[in-house]
Amino acid sequence: MLRNDSARPAGPVQPRGAFVLYLEGPGDRGIVNGWCRRLLPAQAGSLARSAVILGGKRPARAVEHFRSLGGASEGLRGLCVLDRDDGRSALGAEVEEPGLDFFTWGRRHIESYLLVPDAIRRSLRLPESDARIDLALREHLPDESDSAAWGELDAKRLLAPAGPVARVLGMKIPASRVARATRANELHEDVHAFFERLRVELGVWDVEVVR
């Protein structure tokens, strides 16, 4: 395990009120929970289970729900996690709400961060020598340095039940299991940035990161 205290505040830690995590769908819940097992193991399970599912990219619904709980005036804090989808990450003034912050993935979908061949192999208990996943993805994945192309990549299609990886393997790709099988050093910097935000919101500073 690695201890991660990079988000530790310089001054005294202030008490934190109740926190609400908003996610687009149940698939996102499974992915976030899988990553939690590596980056926030003490909160794995409980954080994702308590998340509010929006039923799609519906930031206004998060605002409505947050207000119904009393919002910042009741000491609440919230974080709404959204896919970038069509490339527009800016949110309008109608979804601005004190105490409720928004985190938009740098890539098109949260699934974009699951395109790790070794993690997919481990999730399916395939041997390291099985190169079918690499071959299936090779023609679809851009160069690692091409951030613009990665930002537009439709990872949902690639990992879909009828997508190229599933067709080659003859089996579905379980997103939540891939997330659980992805090691900390394989996770993209966007995922680490998201968990830094979570640590700050939760007031968690001493974290044992599971390799």
Residues 85 and 173 occupy one common structural domain: no
- 38, 121: one domain: no
Residue 7 has pLDDT above 70, yes or no: no
pLDDT at 194 over 80: yes
Predicted local confidence at residue 144, as pLDDT? 87
Q: Same structural domain for residues 33 and 83?
A: yes
Looking at the fold, whether 144 and 196 belong to one and the same domain comes out as no
Q: Do residue 66 and residue 90 come from a single domain?
A: yes
Give the count of domains, the chain. 2
For residue range 15-40, what is the model confidence (pLDDT) as tens digits? 356 999 999 999 999 999 999 999 99
At 67-80, the pLDDT tens digits run: 999 999 999 999 99
pLDDT in tens, 89-114: 556 555 789 999 999 999 999 999 99
Residue-wise pLDDT for 112-148, tens only, equals 999 999 999 999 999 999 999 999 898 899 998 998 9
User: What is the predicted pLDDT for the residue at 22?
Assistant: 97
What local confidence, expressed as pLDDT, does residue 88 receive?
56
Q: How many residues in the chain?
A: 211
Residues 187 and 102 in one domain: yes
Does 140 lie in the same domain as 187? no
Same domain, 146 and 190: no
pLDDT value of residue 6: 41
Tell whether 25 and 61 lie within a shared domain: yes
Domain extent, residue 102, equals 2-9+18-109+183-209
Q: Are residues 71 and 105 in the same domain?
A: yes
Do residue 102 and residue 144 come from a single domain? Answer: no
Q: Check: CB of residue 169 under 8 Å from CB of residue 132.
A: yes
